[in-house]
Structure 1
């Protein structure tokens, strides 16, 4: 059975680096530039401080639950009265994340390099790959992430260094010309994106090695760094106001890449980064939905996964304007996951310190 094959903590970190990294590049950076303009990079950097405190909270919950399956742990301690609402909340968040990821990657693919390909075809091909990856299990997703991540990182450094010739880092200053509010909003939104690490709580039982606090610190700092790098690059190349008007600032940086006078149009390399992150993210979310529901029989898992894939196919085929999606991401998507990412671990922390039921004390 695929679900019982465990992975190492390092493999889990690879999965989350790709999964959260792609959304921070594609979804978060335009939102930060919209609210923070020039101050957005400082807000993103400042988000590390509260994130460190939040990671400690996350680690305490992991220790108290002894890396057991979170839903089963809650059932044993408090029954379905507590476990069921948490399960529904995790499923709802997973569906929301998957919907946003699917619509965004399909629109980006259609606009950037496959304008004559129907979005339905793009959706079917993308979901087919994610279906088989989720069906293979978390171990398969982790192995694929370990193979894809090194090249994704190298390409990131390549685009960063290649564009040094166009960058003017003096555009990062002066700060606070419009007060402190833009930087504070940027910090909160960056934290909201980083709070997706909360999914570790619901995947911890698949990890064979111990999840350490130092490793969580490094992972959270790397994820914030994946935001700060392309964010400062976009401001340094295009300026804070021009960058804020771009739909995909990270992709526009790829369009600037040239090698000497004779090699240009290397933005096709960004396709590898985008597709790698999006496929790993979507596959992980599909797997998480099945895992949280506690489906163990292979045949039932396959049927449910087919149903979920058809559900997302219908969503992907539903005509939604890109401007509408961008508006929803800016106005409520990141604020919502910030609130949930802050409150749910706090609730779990309180529950972890409540007295045990007699049944659990005996076991």
Structure 2
């Protein structure tokens, strides 16, 4: 893994977050959002824009105070080594859980859709080898790979959205609040668990050449909302709120019914490109950020850490878990990681306001 300080620009950082959070919202958030909020899910996503805006102001403030300094160094200068190590460990826990959830979800989807007889560990091994190759090249390699894959992901997204227009009935989006405000509030929580990933830009700051301004954060957040609303409203308009809430992979099911007349049908294999590309970039990026949290003077230490990390990750993610069990655990994990991230941001805010740089 290479030292990539100041190696990417603001646009590159935004595109990396777009791919990573886009997969998270598409694949992992939407099923739980539909299950918890039903028809109100899309309205919850819109209302989540208000707490997201507050989060953007907080991130903008923290970015100004951190000035591109690595998290561990910045916290150590204001709170000491113990606090720096503690907060870095909690960030590492957050990142590890997100990586694990992404890999398991990718494996479950792969077995569910097109490789039904392949063992977990085989899928896991080949996927982690690809991630390891990206990590070996460093953040620049991950960024270049993302620049190549993201346009294809976006074009395929437009294709499935427009191809399903004849199958959509947007009257199914209404009426709202049939079951009161409780489903709506639950939906806002699940939505924010996905939107809050924009905070990971704090960990990317040392690798970005220029400071990320509030305008960039705002535009990126609008992209997050658009990426979630598209497949979410599509799932409700195609399948209805009841059937949509019972689907395990709503975004994939939208692919399964795409047809262009009677000539072009059964194109759901194209979803494989979207899902695997997004998973590769997401896991590679989050793994890079995790391994970069704790400074190391010797490159051999990086290699040993990376090897240990992949061995643990391979072992844990190769353990078979029934999909129903994993889905319930994933639901709890979404909220746990969201609350954990809020707690970490709170501590960083306290340090930014009251913490004084030590000599």
TM-score by length of 2: 0.97
Alignment deviations for residues 259-308 of structure 1 (CA, whole Å, 9 cap, x no partner): 12122110011111100110111111211121002135333222221221
CA distance in 2, matches of 1:274, 1:138: 21
Farther off after superposition, 187-196 or 272-281: 187-196
Contact 2:71/2:203, CA 8 A, preserved across alignment: yes
Farther off after superposition, 248-257 or 319-328: 319-328
The corresponding residue for 2:51 is 50
CA distance in 2, matches of 1:355, 1:42: 39
Moved over 6 A (4+): none
The corresponding residue for 1:279 is 280
Contact 1:103/1:316, CA 8 A, preserved across alignment: yes
The correspondence of residues 70-219 of structure 1 with structure 2, limited to 5 A, is: 70-219=71-220
Contact 2:4/2:139, CA 8 A, preserved across alignment: no
Gaps of 5+ in 2: none
CA distance in 1, matches of 2:283, 2:52: 24
CA distance in 1, matches of 2:330, 2:302: 31
The corresponding residue for 1:60 is 61
CA distance in 2, matches of 1:193, 1:290: 22
Alignment deviations for residues 84-136 of structure 1 (CA, whole Å, 9 cap, x no partner): 11011011111111111111101111221111222221111000000111121
Q: Shift of the alpha carbon at 1:358? A: 4.8
Alignment deviations for residues 151-177 of structure 1 (CA, whole Å, 9 cap, x no partner): 111111110010000000000000000
TM-score by length of 1: 0.96
CA distance in 2, matches of 1:306, 1:344: 27
Q: What SS does structure 2 have at the residue aligned with 1:239? A: helix
Farther off after superposition, 321-330 or 293-302: 293-302
Contact 2:67/2:211, CA 8 A, preserved across alignment: no
Farther off after superposition, 159-168 or 216-225: 216-225
CA distance in 1, matches of 2:301, 2:113: 38
The correspondence of residues 193-342 of structure 1 with structure 2, limited to 5 A, is: 193-330=194-331, 332-342=332-342
Contact 1:131/1:306, CA 8 A, preserved across alignment: no
CA distance in 2, matches of 1:271, 1:296: 40
CA distance in 1, matches of 2:296, 2:194: 28
Contact 2:71/2:88, CA 8 A, preserved across alignment: no
The corresponding residue for 2:33 is 32
Farther off after superposition, 236-245 or 133-142: 133-142
CA distance in 2, matches of 1:316, 1:358: 41
Number of residue pairs the alignment of both structures matches = 358
Gaps of 5+ in 1: none
Q: Note the aligned Cα RMSD (angstroms).
A: 1.3
CA distance in 2, matches of 1:189, 1:296: 39
Farther off after superposition, 216-225 or 26-35: 216-225
Contact 1:3/1:296, CA 8 A, preserved across alignment: no
Alignment deviations for residues 224-252 of structure 1 (CA, whole Å, 9 cap, x no partner): 21111100000000000001110000000
Q: What SS does structure 2 have at the residue aligned with 1:79? A: helix
Contact 1:69/1:202, CA 8 A, preserved across alignment: yes
Structure 2 residue 14 is matched with structure 1 residue 2: no
Alignment deviations for residues 313-361 of structure 1 (CA, whole Å, 9 cap, x no partner): 111221211111100122x2121122123222122112111152451xx
